[in-house]
Chains A and B, each alone.
Chain A
Amino acid sequence: MTETREAAITQIKDLIETHHLSEFDILELCKKSSIQDSKPANLLQLTIMYLGGIFIFAGLGVYINMIWDDINSLSRVIITLGSGFVAFILSLLCTSDARFTKALTPFIIIAGILQPVGLFVFMDEYLPHAGNVTLPACYVMGFMLVQQFIAFMATGVTGFLFFSVFFFYSFICMIFNLWEIRDLIVPVVIGISGLMVAWGIDQTSHRSITPFYYFCMSGIAAIASFDLLQETKFDILLVGVSCILIYVAMMAASRTILTVAVISLLGYLVYFTDEYFKNIVGWPIALIILGLVMIGVSAYAVKIGKNISSHV
């Protein structure tokens, strides 16, 4: 028994060295095992605990809002930026101790929300107002991007990567605003870029954050394409946009992108019907045809979804 156990540990050690697995990969595996073993009672307890935490946090937020006008500038900065920075430090401490792994993500989320708010409060309280919020927003998003990315590089925690991506695109949006770049192609490129980044992350062990970005970025790409092409002679290309999204969904094995692609296709079909068939005699027939097309598209989407499930 002892020899078998030692042999197993040696084998695990070899596997870790061969595949360059980090302690977080192992922890992730242990976490999945513990979730599978947990009973519904534990899940209920956990849910109630999280709800309790949210209530406490909401209560503090409401209380701070009530006393906001009565406290001085330094107190406002300490309450927001100070709390956020402390949460960030605590999240870093949690990464070094396996006992506090469950507290890691909440601390990262709190730090990711409170720190930028605190930086805005700091600038509002202590710096002269120039009337243009874009430049300070650039500084805030840039600072948060650097902080979160360095934290990710140092710890390899997925939560930091999530906020790195979030603040990266926030920073990019602020840059476009700052330089008055408002071309309709901009959101299209942002959507494509976001899909590429999410795809890249999907190939790593940090893939748990990709559904959120797949949803947001494919939605942005679809809406931006509509804004770019609607009421132009190239609006027929909108169907191509949906087809590309469905293709990407198949390649990425993502039902999230597939959902957005199907919704966008239905939306485009409504646009075409409204644009070209509304004022003709066959409008009710067009509606019936649209309904049949929608049923067909949904059936096709279900078929693709099953294919994706079989590939995952």
Chain B
Amino acid sequence: MSAASFIKGNKVLIAGVVLPFLLIIALMLSRLATIEPPQYKALFYVSKPSVIGTIKVTPNSDGKISAVFQPKDAGSVIENNGTANPSAVLYLYDGKSGSLESTEVTLDQNNQVTPLQKFQDLEILPDAIAPDGYEFKRSYYISRTSILIDIFGGRRHYDGPVLTKNKYVMEIVGVNDYYNRTKFLGWVNEGASK
């Protein structure tokens, strides 16, 4: 039996070979058809531990954000990994382009919080879920997986922040958060930025 006739005479075999490719096409098309990119940018921050206190960023009633220094109480425990000077890094994630902007605030020589710089004019919606249905999760992990995917596909170790909608998960790569201190501030509308 020649190789050509071997292929022609085995329809089940050919169907078995084609099946994984059909699955790939179907899954890719389903993702493209159902998922729209986020219309709102996600604003969040990560505070770094300090021996004297922390910088907290909070949304104001007018939709703007402000950063304040909160000294540590006299009786509170000093963290092992705390630095001398507190700081906080603000992140603005654009789900459309996948870009991640950041700026850092810390204490100056007079123990005053430095200006927020490029994020100080942003107006945010402090809702947990954006009007377009996306939700910010600060530490995401795949709760249901397959042992086969772990063996043949390699176990995923990503546990950073994500944007989720239904079952779709968009990882926000590049956030430096070793201490799981990410805090969500709100959603930024593209047109609201001055």
Contact = CB atoms under 8 A, between A and B. Distances in A.
Contacts of B148: 187, 220, 223-224, 227
B24 A175 contact: yes
A273 B45 CA distance: 47
Nearest to A199: B12
Given A156-B3, A175-B24, A182 B19 contact: no
A197 B152 contact: no
Contacts of A172: 20
A179 interface: yes
Contacts of B173: none
Contacts of B3: 152-154, 156
Among A21, A156, A173, residue most surrounded by chain B Cβ atoms (within 10 Å)? A173
Nearest to B18: A193
A216 to B, nearest CB: 11
A85 to B, nearest CB: 23
Interface stretch (A66-74, A200-208, A264-272, A294-302): A200-208
A20 B5 CA distance: 10
B147 A223 contact: yes
B35 to A, nearest CB: 13
Contact of A204 (B6, B16, B146, B154): B6
B128 interface: no
Contacts of A186: 23, 146, 149
A227 B10 CA distance: 31
B146 A224 contact: yes
A94 to B, nearest CB: 18
A189 B20 contact: yes
What class of interface size applies to chain B in its complex with A? 20 to 34
A119 B70 CA distance: 56
A185 interface: yes
Given A182-B149, A196-B15, A200-B10, A22 B1 contact: yes
Contacts of A247: none
Among B28, B142, B147, B153, residue most surrounded by chain A Cβ atoms (within 10 Å)? B153
Interface string A4-38: 00000000000000001110010000000000000
Contact of B144 (A152, A184, A185): A184
B142 A182 contact: yes
A120 interface: no
A177 interface: yes
Given A193-B20, A196-B16, A179 B142 contact: no
A58 to B, nearest CB: 26
Nearest to A192: B19
Interface string A163-189: 000001000110111010111111101
A199 B23 contact: no
Interface of B: 1-3, 5-6, 10-17, 19-20, 23-24, 27-28, 142, 144-149, 152-154, 156
Interface of A: 20-22, 25, 134, 152-154, 156, 168, 172-173, 175-177, 179, 181-187, 189-190, 192-201, 203-205, 220, 223-224, 227-228
